[in-house]
Amino acid sequence: MKFCSQCGSPVSWQTPSGDHRPRFVCSSCSTVHYQNPKIVAGCLPLWRGQVLLCRRAIEPRRGFWTLPGGFMENDETMEQAAVRETLEEACVRVEGLELYTLFDLPHIHQVHVFFRARLVDTNFAAGEESLEVGLFHEAEIPWPELAFPTVGHTLEYFFEDRVRQLYPVRNEPLAPLIALSRRTPWNNFDR
Amino acid sequence: MKFCSQCGSPVSWQTPSGDHRPRFVCSSCSTVHYQNPKIVAGCLPLWRGQVLLCRRAIEPRRGFWTLPGGFMENDETMEQAAVRETLEEACVRVEGLELYTLFDLPHIHQVHVFFRARLVDTNFAAGEESLEVGLFHEAEIPWPELAFPTVGHTLEYFFEDRVRQLYPVRNEPLAPLIALSRRTPWNNFDR
């Protein structure tokens, strides 16, 4: 950020009076420009024991497999965002969404939220942001080719929880070092 | 938003090519300025069956009671935000945080997240944004004087769940009309 979005004057990086941390402040109209974390919402779409994954057609991580998901927009709920992203990336509808995993990613100013969901049918197809879309049994998951650590963790938790048929909501931070120190197959490629 | 924060030129409200919704787009450098929902994180701080509430010293809802909470900042987790806000507003530390309620507020582009938490001691005090801070048994909760619907819902769920000692994580949308149609005492004042 270099200019004030209200008046167009240059901004400076300073701690406003009464505040505890530096912000972008307008040199002319004094507007304080707050910057806050963004929510990425996605689905773990299920069909008869299989999980739907999308192979990304766009950067970052083009060519790698992901659960459908993306940035939550204004005017929608997290659940609506997850449904919309699944429709956009896999051209298919989901229902029965249940909040499942929430990962804090403070180093990139994001929170990733995934919902377990049922596919309404198997008429999926690659959306504009996907190269291909497919259903995978647990043994078929392409662990070394997953796009993001939060996708890998969500899948790991799911297969673990499925044994007991209990799916507690999970919230945990995922810092770069934590991700690297976990010896899970899907993040080998991340080193 | 009137000006581009990257180059200072005027922005226009248009749908960028390849996008599905209008955004602020720079007329000069073509930067697309995305706007996304913000997370408000807070605590339900507990001490021997009592709940800590803060009476707000600032707008909105000055003079009304709230659970400590506020906007999540970049570089922190939701849990860290909830702990920080409790320290700022009630001058007290909490521990043992457990994710509890998540409310989607699409009409104001916010998600409110509350954690159940234990107070480490009762040396609380009014922070800069509070007029007073106190502990309340269930029968003492000032329902008609609660600041926000998400605070009221979180307290209702807590006293309901406490009977069974089971605290499932809850996620639900809270639109203005939904809030008004619920006949709960704490939102009478909101009409």
Q: What is the pTM of this model?
A: 0.91
Question: What is the rounded average pLDDT of the residues B93-122?
Answer: 98
B71 and B159 share a domain?
Answer: yes
pLDDT of amino acid A164: 97
Cis amide linkage into residue A10, ω under 30° from 0: no
Cβ-Cβ contacts under 8 Å, A104 against chain B: 77-79
Q: What total number of domains does chain A contain?
A: 2
pLDDT of amino acid A190: 35
A47 and A60 share a domain?
Answer: yes
Cis amide linkage into residue B60, ω under 30° from 0: yes
Q: Each residue of A88-144: pLDDT tens digit?
A: 999 999 999 999 999 999 999 999 999 999 999 999 999 999 999 999 999 999 999
In b/e form, how buried is each residue of A4-25, taking b as 16+ CB within 10 angstroms? bbbebeebeeeeeeeeeeebbb
* Closest C-alpha to A112, from A66, A144, A145, A143: A66
pLDDT of amino acid B182: 52
Extract the tokens encoding A82: 């997850």
| Domain around A4 | 1-35
Give the DSSP letter of residue A139: G
A158 and A82 share a domain?
Answer: yes
Q: Each residue of A30-69: pLDDT tens digit?
A: 999 999 999 999 999 999 999 999 999 999 999 999 999 9
Rounded to a whole number of angstroms, the distance from the CA of A184 to the nearest CA of chain B is 23
Please report, for residues A77, B2, B44, B82, the alpha-carbon distance to residue A34 in angstroms, rounded to integers and kept in the order given: 22, 16, 26, 18
- In the predicted model, is pLDDT for residue B106 greater than 70? yes
pLDDT of amino acid B89: 98
The C-alpha atoms of residue A182 and residue A103 are separated, in whole angstroms, by 15
Handedness of CA A143, A96, B77, B4 (dihedral sign): positive
Rounded to a whole number of angstroms, the distance from the CA of B54 to the nearest CA of chain A is 19
Which region, left, alpha or beta, applies to residue B31 given φ > 0 means left and ψ of -120 to 50 means alpha? Answer: beta
8 Å CB contact of B6 and A1: yes
B129 and B101 share a domain?
Answer: yes
Helix (H) or strand (E) run with residue A132 in it = strand A130-136
A184 and A107 share a domain?
Answer: yes
- Give the nearest partner residue to B77 out of A34, A104, A168, using CB atoms: A104
B72 and B21 share a domain?
Answer: no
A108 and A144 share a domain?
Answer: yes
The C-alpha atoms of residue B162 and residue B177 are separated, in whole angstroms, by 28
Which amino acid would we find at residue B25? V
8 Å CB contact of A104 and B21: no
Torsion of CA A115, A120, A121, A123, to 10 degrees: -70
- Give the nearest partner residue to A71 out of B5, B36, B109, using CB atoms: B36
DSSP-based three-state secondary structure for A179:
helix
Give the DSSP letter of residue B144: G
* Residue B4's CATH number: 2.20.70.10
Cβ-Cβ contacts under 8 Å, A116 against chain B: none
B97 and B3 share a domain?
Answer: no
A91 and A137 share a domain?
Answer: yes
Extract the tokens encoding A185: 């197959």
- Res. B175 pLDDT band, cuts 50 70 90: confident
Q: Each residue of B26-59: pLDDT tens digit?
A: 999 999 999 999 999 999 999 999 999 999 999 9
- Res. B186 pLDDT band, cuts 50 70 90: very low
Q: Each residue of B14-34: pLDDT tens digit?
A: 999 888 899 999 999 999 999
Mutate which of B6, B171, B172 to test chain A, going by most A C-beta atoms within 10 A? Answer: B171
* Closest C-alpha to A5, from B60, B55, B3: B3
Contact A121, A157 (CB under 8 A): no
B19 and B46 share a domain?
Answer: no
Angle of CA points A187, A165, B104, to nearest 5°: 75
* Residue A94's CATH number: 3.90.79.10
A112 and A186 share a domain?
Answer: yes
Residues of A with CB under 8 A from a CB of B: 1-11, 18, 20-21, 33-39, 71-80, 88, 99, 102, 104, 106-107, 109, 111, 128, 168-169, 171, 173
Extract the tokens encoding A59: 């950067």
DSSP-based three-state secondary structure for B43:
strand
pLDDT of amino acid B183: 46
A22 and A47 share a domain?
Answer: no
- Res. B4 pLDDT band, cuts 50 70 90: very high
